[in-house]
A and B are shown apart, each in its own frame.
Chain A
Amino acid sequence: MDYLDQLENKSIHILREAYANFKNMCMLWSIGKDSTVLLYLARKAFLGHVPFPLVHIDTAYKIPEMIEYRDKIATDWDVNIIYGQNEKALKSKQSFPDGNVDRITCCKLLKTTALNDTLSGNGKRYIFNHDKKAYELDKNNEPYTGVIVGVRSDEEGSRSKERYFSPRNQEHEWELGDQPPEFWNQFKTDFAPGTHLRIHPLLDWTELNIWEYIKRENIPVVSLYFDNGEGKRYRSLGCYPCTYSVDSNAKDVDDIIFELKSGKFANIAERSGRAQDKDDGGGLETLRKDGYM
């Protein structure tokens, strides 16, 4: 059993623990490589099935290929997908690209608020109808009490302090200073009414592990990660106004693995192309305390 096998088995164990303990559960799906690996792991854990919906927070500023890819995977892998967004903020143009708020406030409104409202059921949920190949209003507005998220501890400072099962209080806040203990594969699965748990099966994975696994399992990822001849590619995906591509000639997964192992990115952080991290003082601690993924 090599290290990738160990990571895979631990993640599957966590996914199954989550499924056994939470009646109303969903998985956040950002369309990026991490959450696509997570989705693939779910299919391994449940032997070809994905017994819970995927939730995508659509900021309306995602790179267009991402949305296209989202609906393709949803169809090809036959999974339930739900999206939610902060329609009020978008309508009143309370966004950074509209020039009305700063980056951090924009993240808070279009991601954190949208996420919190979608999870609690206070905001509208749109569900993909596989027969009609279109989204329609989801009648179910039960709050999700278990939310699977694909964050990794090596991404940035606040995520490195996370637990596998991480509680959020009634205001969706993360109490960083007073986290529960977690040991011997026993997780926090009991929670007070109104609170919920974030579940992090990929916490131990690094960016390199993700790509090694994508290669080993031949998992399809969105083409934005590869250089299509212009010497540029995305290393991390997000909203186009705040996510920058990097100079790279990596054309396939092998090239990316080389780049990360011994090439130009061996000593440069993955999220260096994410502007909101810098505006949050080099980490995401402020955003994440409020419920950001």
Chain B
Amino acid sequence: MRVDVLNPEKQKIDNAQDFDIRQRMDIVIIGHVDHGKSTIVGRLLADTNSLPNGKLKQVKQLCERNSKPFEYAFLIDALKDEQSQGITIDAARVFFKTQCRDYIIIDAPGHIEFLKNMVTGASRAEAALLVIAADEGIQENSKRHGYLTSMLGIKQIAVLVNKMDRIGYNQDIFNKIVNDYSEFLKNIDVNPHCFIPVSGLIGDNIAEISNKMSWYTGDNILNTLDQFKKEEIPINKPFRMPIQDIYKFTKYNDNRRIIAGTIETGSINIGDEVIFCPSGKKSKVKTIEVFNSPEVPKVSAGQATGFTLEEQIYITRGEVMTKIGEAQPSLSSRIKVNLFWLGKKPMVKNKEYLFKIGTSRVKARLEEITRIIDASSLNAASDKNFIDRHDVSECILKLNKPFGFDLKEHITITSRFVIVDDYEICGGGLVRETLQDKESWMQNKVFIRNYKWEKGNISAKDRADKYKQDPALLLITGNDNLNRKKLAKKLEENMFHANKPVYFLGMSNLLYGLDADIKDGDKNRGEHIRRLAETVNILIDAGILTIVTASELTEDDIKLIKTSLAAEKIKTIWVGKDVTTDINFDLKLEQAHNIEQNSTKVYNYLKSENIFH
């Protein structure tokens, strides 16, 4: 591996105390238009001395000159313009710090037109401040925001009942809002941290406890923020890592094949057995790859990492790496979900959408709408046949192929998906339940077969060493039926006499035996191929080089075989001059009739591929 010329080794930090990285927390402040978010944030900045010197005085003087009453919200506006000279304020984010930690307050727009921006802002936060004006009370948007905040996964919520000065600091009005809104939140499983009666304008209960509400015994906003806990990294959940990519960079003779991704939950050690979902392929962690850092024996949730595996298996981006012995996702292509829709066009049935979960993407359709929930009243809306912009819905989605899902109840993070329509993310949701159907069945079988596969005491490596060969499937295809078979049988003969465990598997041997129950052969080509692959899988596991001939195989056929067999265990040979399908063969033999010569060519090819040791 190449090391840096300029940077041979990462600097060790010996003076750890001097190098103190402050904790940071992102908070979103949400509320209906004019319920006073900006005033509260302005107050918070002023009262924690987070403003540049003289700023407060300057804005106050400006107000005086224009003979309008000073408002703390003006501070936010003034600071926006001052971006280039001032510190850290902008339309979307306000930075301030307490003794405890650094904060970023994400100012989410309150207007319903900007709901997608509110969702974007809120999804980055670990906690939320929901603002309700005491004089106007709970608005439709207050409820919608509460609902979305909970769907986005924010668990820590403080409700600020603002403008208490406008209602004469009346305890009864405050209590009524607390009762009504608590009841609403309870229905959506949200348990707010607290309700705080505040006045952004006067500064009550912002950074200090107000003396105007002796009936209130709780904390102010500032202390409440410091009480919020950093979200725990979910290292105690089952291991999940969506595969981002398989890297095979050849520069500098790098021969590592690295499985790259970010661990969502759980942890993993070198030597742990892993299984990939939905393919069900298994292997073992050989190394954890790092660049310019000391080697590590273990990685866990939150880390962007890379592995090499003991046994090379064919997997691609989109699969989820999981650990054997831990709870597995459930495989399905029909799912019941909760989703919110942000698209300009409604979500409709009989239309193809793109469904993205983890790093996987698959085409999907809306099959059934169980109910549309009016996010502001929680009532089921009328029998709508589509999902409108800003609707929250419970519905069933049908995917083009099966995938492994975690359910919201088990692992929320990996139950989250988005839906893309016309290049744009238009909706997001959580998987609540997996429903069974035909296609899921097949994938499930392979997955369970691999998971349940019982090994004897002889490992694949033991057999390979003893037989001096890495067993594989030798797939001879092409449009010359006669010479294809002749070559296959000749190969078997030659290899047998060279003491190789080898077997020619005739297709008709399967067709009239194992496949005898399959009716309407042509329509069930997929099932024939699956059974062939399963049979070969057993022969290969026994260490035997298996030779099969088939006419004009396509890339789709090969793909199907690859769900059962590792890609590198399949060697394809095309016999004949003209290639009549889209297959990507490994070797082509143009002189179909020259059996002896072709047999030598194949033998040499297998030797060069290290099939024969």
Q: Which of B10-53 contact A (CB under 8 A)?
A: 10-11, 13, 19, 21-24, 52-53
Beyond A4-B21, A51-B249, A216-B13, whether A184 also contacts B83 by CB under 8 A is no
Partner of A9, one of B247, B304, B317: B304
CB distance from B459 to the nearest CB of A (A): 29
Are B83 and A183 in contact (CB-based, < 8 A)? no
Q: Identify which of B417-425, B441-449, B500-508, B515-523 touches chain A.
A: B417-425
Interface residue B171 (Cβ < 8 Å from any Cβ of A): no
CB distance from A85 to the nearest CB of B (A): 27
Nearest residue (CB) in B for A153 is: B93
Chain B residues within an 8 Å CB radius of A4: 21
Are B80 and A157 in contact (CB-based, < 8 A)? yes
Interface residue B245 (Cβ < 8 Å from any Cβ of A): yes
Q: How far is the CA of A283 from the CA of B119 in the complex (A)?
A: 25
Interface residue A140 (Cβ < 8 Å from any Cβ of B): no
Partner of B123, one of A6, A13, A183, A268: A183
Q: How far is the CA of A206 from the CA of B256 in the complex (A)?
A: 34
Are B119 and A76 in contact (CB-based, < 8 A)? no
Chain A residues within an 8 Å CB radius of B359: 17, 20
Are A160 and B428 in contact (CB-based, < 8 A)? no
Q: Identify which of B84-92, B216-224, B322-330, B371-379 touches chain A.
A: B84-92
Are A190 and B423 in contact (CB-based, < 8 A)? yes
Q: Which of A138-157 contact B (CB under 8 A)?
A: 153-154, 156-157
Are A157 and B249 in contact (CB-based, < 8 A)? no
Q: How far is the CA of A43 from the CA of B81 in the complex (A)?
A: 37
Residue-wise, chain A 1-43 has the 8 Å CB interface mask toward B (1 for contact) of: 1111110111011001101100000000000000000000001
Q: How far is the CA of A47 from the CA of B244 in the complex (A)?
A: 14
Q: How far is the CA of A156 from the CA of B92 in the complex (A)?
A: 11
Nearest residue (CB) in B for A190 is: B423
Chain B residues within an 8 Å CB radius of A97: none
Beyond A217-B11, A282-B83, whether A47 also contacts B247 by CB under 8 A is yes
CB distance from B62 to the nearest CB of A (A): 16
Are B420 and A190 in contact (CB-based, < 8 A)? yes
Beyond A217-B10, A283-B83, whether A48 also contacts B291 by CB under 8 A is yes
A contacts, CB < 8 Å to B: 1-6, 8-10, 12-13, 16-17, 19-20, 43-49, 51, 73, 76-78, 153-154, 156-157, 160-161, 163, 179-186, 188, 190-192, 206, 212, 215-220, 267-269, 271-272, 277-278, 282-283
Excluding A161-B90, A181-B342, A184-B152, 16 further A-B contacts by CB distance (< 8 Å) are A6-B302, A43-B292, A76-B5, A77-B4, A157-B83, A180-B116, A183-B123, A183-B124, A185-B262, A186-B428, A190-B354, A215-B13, A215-B19, A218-B9, A268-B85, A278-B84
Are A1 and B291 in contact (CB-based, < 8 A)? no
Chain A residues within an 8 Å CB radius of B548: none
Q: Which of B269-293 contact A (CB under 8 A)?
A: 289-292
Are B22 and A45 in contact (CB-based, < 8 A)? no
CB distance from A192 to the nearest CB of B (A): 6
Partner of B245, one of A16, A44, A185, A206: A16
Are A44 and B84 in contact (CB-based, < 8 A)? no
CB distance from A78 to the nearest CB of B (A): 7
Are B11 and A17 in contact (CB-based, < 8 A)? no
Nearest residue (CB) in A for B95 is: A154
Are A184 and B1 in contact (CB-based, < 8 A)? no
Q: How far is the CA of A48 from the CA of B255 in the complex (A)?
A: 13
Tally of chain B residues near chain A (CB < 8 A) = 72
Are B425 and A188 in contact (CB-based, < 8 A)? yes
The residue in B1, B5, B252, B256 that gathers the most chain A C-beta atoms within 10 A of its C-beta is B5
B contacts, CB < 8 Å to A: 1-2, 4-7, 9-11, 13, 19, 21-24, 52-53, 80-88, 90-93, 95, 116-117, 119-120, 123-124, 152, 233, 244-245, 247, 249, 251-252, 254, 256, 258, 260-262, 289-292, 302-304, 306, 317, 342, 354, 356, 359, 416-418, 420, 423-425, 428
CB distance from B5 to the nearest CB of A (A): 5
Are B93 and A160 in contact (CB-based, < 8 A)? yes
Task: List the 4 shortest-distance A-B pairs measured between CB atoms, nearest first.
Answer: A183-B123, A160-B90, A12-B304, A181-B116
Are A163 and B82 in contact (CB-based, < 8 A)? no
Beyond A48-B291, A49-B254, whether A13 also contacts B87 by CB under 8 A is no
Nearest residue (CB) in B for A257 is: B19
Are B247 and A186 in contact (CB-based, < 8 A)? no
Are B83 and A269 in contact (CB-based, < 8 A)? yes
Q: How far is the CA of A45 from the CA of B292 in the complex (A)?
A: 11
Beyond A48-B2, A183-B123, A183-B152, whether A16 also contacts B244 by CB under 8 A is yes
Q: How far is the CA of A46 from the CA of B291 in the complex (A)?
A: 8
Are B84 and A47 in contact (CB-based, < 8 A)? no
Main secondary structure of the interface of B (DSSP, over half): loop
CB distance from B324 to the nearest CB of A (A): 25
Q: How far is the CA of A161 from the CA of B91 in the complex (A)?
A: 7
Q: How far is the CA of A267 from the CA of B93 in the complex (A)?
A: 16
The residue in B24, B152, B244, B290 that gathers the most chain A C-beta atoms within 10 A of its C-beta is B244
Are A157 and B6 in contact (CB-based, < 8 A)? no
Are A20 and B425 in contact (CB-based, < 8 A)? no
CB distance from B289 to the nearest CB of A (A): 5
Chain A residues within an 8 Å CB radius of B91: 157, 160-161
Are B428 and A271 in contact (CB-based, < 8 A)? no
Beyond A181-B120, A183-B152, whether A212 also contacts B85 by CB under 8 A is no
Are B289 and A47 in contact (CB-based, < 8 A)? yes
Partner of A183, one of B53, B86, B87, B119: B119
Chain A residues within an 8 Å CB radius of B80: 157
Q: How far is the CA of A13 from the CA of B247 in the complex (A)?
A: 14
Chain B residues within an 8 Å CB radius of A48: 1-2, 249, 252, 254, 291-292
Are B251 and A267 in contact (CB-based, < 8 A)? no
Are B291 and A3 in contact (CB-based, < 8 A)? no
Chain B residues within an 8 Å CB radius of A47: 247, 249, 256, 258, 289-291, 306
Chain B residues within an 8 Å CB radius of A182: 120, 123, 425
Partner of A46, one of B23, B93, B249: B249
Are A3 and B24 in contact (CB-based, < 8 A)? yes
Chain B residues within an 8 Å CB radius of A156: 83-84
Chain A residues within an 8 Å CB radius of B417: 186
Chain B residues within an 8 Å CB radius of A160: 90-93
CB distance from A58 to the nearest CB of B (A): 23
Are A180 and B425 in contact (CB-based, < 8 A)? yes
Q: How far is the CA of A198 from the CA of B469 in the complex (A)?
A: 49
Are A220 and B7 in contact (CB-based, < 8 A)? yes
Chain A residues within an 8 Å CB radius of B254: 48-49
CB distance from B286 to the nearest CB of A (A): 14
Q: How far is the CA of A6 from the CA of B116 in the complex (A)?
A: 25
Listed A/B pairs (17) with beta-carbon separation below 8 Å = A3-B21, A3-B23, A6-B302, A13-B304, A16-B260, A47-B291, A47-B306, A48-B252, A77-B5, A161-B90, A161-B92, A181-B117, A183-B425, A215-B13, A219-B7, A282-B83, A283-B84
Nearest residue (CB) in A for B1 is: A48
Q: How far is the CA of A10 from the CA of B24 in the complex (A)?
A: 15
Chain B residues within an 8 Å CB radius of A269: 83-87
Nearest residue (CB) in A for B51 is: A267
Chain B residues within an 8 Å CB radius of A76: 4-6
Nearest residue (CB) in B for A76 is: B5
Are B22 and A3 in contact (CB-based, < 8 A)? yes
Beyond A47-B291, A216-B13, whether A157 also contacts B302 by CB under 8 A is no
Nearest residue (CB) in B for A17 is: B244
Are A188 and B424 in contact (CB-based, < 8 A)? yes
Q: How far is the CA of A185 from the CA of B302 in the complex (A)?
A: 12
Are B120 and A1 in contact (CB-based, < 8 A)? no
Q: How far is the CA of A209 from the CA of B83 in the complex (A)?
A: 19
Are A218 and B260 in contact (CB-based, < 8 A)? no
Nearest residue (CB) in A for B246 is: A20
Chain A residues within an 8 Å CB radius of B124: 183
Q: How far is the CA of A124 from the CA of B320 in the complex (A)?
A: 42
CB distance from B441 to the nearest CB of A (A): 29
Chain B residues within an 8 Å CB radius of A77: 4-6
Are B117 and A218 in contact (CB-based, < 8 A)? no
Q: How far is the CA of A280 from the CA of B342 in the complex (A)?
A: 33
